[in-house]
Amino acid sequence: MKQSKYTAKQPDAQGYINYSAQEDAVWAELYQRQWPIIQNRACDAYLRGLELLELSTHKVPQCAEVSSRLREFTGWQVVPVAALISFEEFFALLAEKKFPAASFIRTREDMDYLPEPDIFHEIFGHCPLLTDTTYANFMHEYGKIGHGASAKDKVYLARLFWFTIEFGLLQQANKLSIYGAGILSSQEETIYALESDVPLRKPFEIIDVLRTPYRYDIKQQTYFVIQSFDELYQLTQHDLLGIIAEVKPLGLYPAQHAGEAASDKLKGC
């Protein structure tokens, strides 16, 4: 795994992390600038989840507190981890309905972009949808499949994660909307993903997804559009590892941009 310039913040015996006033101010600013732009762009389930979680707007929320809310709705928890974790640890946690969260928060120099997840991305981006039953069930089943998968299959599963949980779009009845956490925690990409004419927006097709290279260090070139979270859940109820076995000999599509094929790292998401 690549190195992070940030170090994880360690929870105390009660599971609480001490954030400084400066770090709380970074959270407050990120929250305040992101909230208005997601209103007409995030999917309804995300906005509902954000309301249900009652996240603090002015200080970094504690994973323990977010977990106690999540448990009421879907039995999920969010647990602090180092900035970047192995595939092994990642899937093992998801299989136990524990979402791994990088515990540090970005500094002021990285307000607009950082190539790795921080606590704003993890809590604001990922946690609201973990209140949604179908979405949460997909994550759990996905985690269990990944936990038992070979190292090579985990890489394919990580690509599925990338194009759904991180950078997925959802077609709602009246409009295209965002559910991917990588988009919803980025001011620039929230607007770009829906409104720019640069990226491709393709219907979600599992073989296509598994063959598409991606980059974590630029805005996405391709987004896949699902029709419902049940479409994702159904993938886990069929032979997902069998589909991966079919895809392997086909290989990845050619990279649209230099470096894409080499970027298959989980990025600790």
Q: Which residues are catalytic?
A: 121, 126, 166, 185
Beta bridge partners of 20: none
Whose CB is nearest to Fe ion? Answer: 269
Q: How far is the CB of 14 from Fe ion (least distance, A)?
A: 26
Q: How far is the CB of 20 from Fe ion (least distance, A)?
A: 24
Six token digits for residue 60: 């970094």
Question: CA–CA separation, 23 vs 21, rounded Å?
Answer: 5
- The terminus-to-terminus CA distance of the chain in angstroms comes to 12
Q: How far is the CB of 57 from Fe ion (least distance, A)?
A: 21
**H helix intervals, the chain:** 21-38, 44-53, 63-73, 87-95, 119, 133-147, 151-161, 181-184, 187-195, 206-210, 229-236, 240-247
Question: CA–CA separation, 10 vs 16, rounded Å?
Answer: 8
Nearer CB in complex with Fe ion: 100/213 = 100
Q: Give the CA radius of gyration of the chain.
A: 17
Beta bridge partners of 177: 170
Nearer CB in complex with Fe ion: 99/247 = 99
Residues of this chain that interact with Fe ion (CB under 5 A) are: 117, 181, 269
Asked whether the beta carbons of 28 and 57 are under 8 A apart, the reply is yes
Six token digits for residue 198: 């640069």
Nearer CB in complex with Fe ion: 114/244 = 114
Q: How far is the CB of 182 from Fe ion (least distance, A)?
A: 6
Nearer CB in complex with Fe ion: 219/243 = 219
Six token digits for residue 83: 């900035």
Asked whether the beta carbons of 167 and 194 are under 8 A apart, the reply is no
